[in-house]
Amino acid sequence: MEDKFCPACGGHHEEDSEDTYVDYEGYRFRKPFKCMCCGKEICARQFAYGRACGPCDMGACQTGNRAFRLSAVHERPEWIVLYDRQATIDKFAQAVGAEKLEAVIQ
C-alpha cells in the first residue's frame, strides 16, 4: 500500500484515524491537531513530535514574525514578562477542546 502525501507535515504516511490521540501535559488531544504557535492544522505525528508545524518549529512562524517581539531582539531582558508555562498549556488545551486527564498516582 502506498502512503499518501500529508500536507500538514510534508511527509508520506497513512492518514490519522478518528481515534488517534496524543497525551501531553495532562491533556488528551484529538483531531484536528493544531500548531501551538500559529494554530495551523497539523498531523498527529507532527503534534506528538513537537506540537508545532514545520515553519514554527524552525523559527519561521508567519504569525509571530509579523509583529515586533522583544524576546527575539533582546537576550533575556529583565523587564519582559515571563509567562506561566502550565497556564499557557491550559489555555491552549481549553481552546482546542482537549480532554483533561485525571492524575494517576502509583
Q: Going residue by residue through the chain (106 aa), what tens digit of pLDDT does each one get? A: 567 888 877 788 888 889 999 999 999 999 999 998 888 899 999 999 889 888 888 888 777 666 666 556 556 555 556 678 888 889 989 999 999 998 766 5
pLDDT value of position 75 = 61
pLDDT value of position 10 = 78
Place of cell 491550559: 90
Q: Are 89 and 27 in contact (CB under 8 A)?
A: yes
Name the grid cell of 75. 537576550
Give the length of the chain.
106
Place of cell 509583529: 67
| 20, containing H or E segment | none
Quote the distance between the C-alpha of residue 106 and its chain's center. 29
Q: Domain residues of the chain, as ranges? A: 4-100
Place of cell 491533556: 27
Paired with 90 in beta bridges are: none
pLDDT value of position 58 = 85
